[in-house]
Homo-oligomer: A and B are copies of this chain.
Amino acid sequence: MSIFVETQRDTASRARCGKLLLGRGEVPTPAFMPVGTAASIKGVEAETLEHFGYRLLLCNTYHLALRPGAELIAQLGGLHRFMGWEGNILTDSGGYQVFSLAALRKITEQGVTFRSHLDGSLVELTPERAVEIQRALGSDIMMALDVCPPHDACPEEQLRACRLTTAWAERCLAARERMGGGLLFGIIQGGTNLEMRRRHLEQIAALPFAGLALGGLSVGEDTSSMYRVLEDIGPLMDPGRPHYLMGVGRMADILQAVSCGIDMFDCVLPTRNGRHGQLFTWEGEINIRKATFQSDDRSPVEGCRCPTCRRYSRAYLRHLFQAGEMLGPRLATLHNLFFFAEFMAEIRHQIASGNFTPWAKALLSKYPSSSISSTQSN
């Protein structure tokens, strides 16, 4: 049985609305997942995320496996109970962090060994172990272990990554069966090489994954290269399963990806940029630390109904950042998470009302810095 129901489709693009049918409640799509790296969305209680309308978070297997440990979390009743979150949780496989954070990693057919960035201890991550950890955490959606090469990897390395990712995908599925089930998404690699992407999509889509994810994008390549992949691959992805673009969170990128049929996103952008004083608005980002806000009594983002904008001024937020007060990062993060929830709700509304494509085009024209590809696939 599919976990995805498509409810509306845009006529002028591949954008679509739908819902994920998950164990802890339905999730309307397109959906954005805030990232709770170490079982916490930095500075924000689970309760607040519920109020903002989030029904699905992402947590990082790599971080949790190293600290406090997956088995400890299992013993404490699982990740949901541990972090006080009653909605759904998607966990990544840990692979991405192994490739970006860990030292001395060594990839073999068997899996990947690396040294923990915390204490230098040697850790082995295999497809089987990745599933075992995610099951111990109690994830609602588990990700298969993949190999994510750098964006400038040579074709041979990209090809090897695809080959290993497919082999590991099959082992993840087998492990999942042995261990008693659970939802597992497969990951498609292939860099920005369209031919390789297509072939890898075919391999992964042929496997009984509950969802299909695009990995290895937004890892440093040109925006236009990523858009080319999305436009080429999006239409080829099985419409009966949810499509997840990993690690993407820029507003322009989300709009572009939605128009190519992507249903799910995750990114640290609203939280990390918030901690640095960046506030998201419909017109782009503003940096609240700027001197011009020193005596600006207006709401941080005028018209915004978030807890921050309803109560505090630009001058106050700027002051908090200047004074190094932890309330500053928190208030900015709250605004950004509220804004992203609104942004995704508006995308769904525009798709449902048949107006997504002109609306998205008008919005994109406000972001001069983003290089929007002119060829829109549909």
Contact = CB atoms under 8 A, between A and B. Distances in A.
Number of copies: 2
A311 B84 contact: yes
Given A84-B312, A297-B77, A67 B319 contact: yes
Contacts of A315: 68, 72, 76, 82
A326 interface: yes
Interface stretch (A15-23, A42-50, A226-234): A42-50
Interface in A38-84: 38-47, 63, 67-68, 72, 75-77, 82-84
Given A38-B319, A76-B295, A319-B38, A43 B326 contact: yes
B67 A316 contact: no
A40 B82 contact: no
Interface residues of A, number: 39
A191 B294 CA distance: 41
B76 A327 contact: no
Contacts of A47: 307, 311
A373 to B, nearest CB: 38
A45 B326 contact: no
A296 B39 CA distance: 17
Contacts of A72: 294-295, 315
A362 interface: no
A320 B45 CA distance: 12
Interface of A: 38-47, 63, 67-68, 72, 75-77, 82-84, 294-295, 297, 307, 311-313, 315-316, 319-320, 322-323, 325-327, 329-331
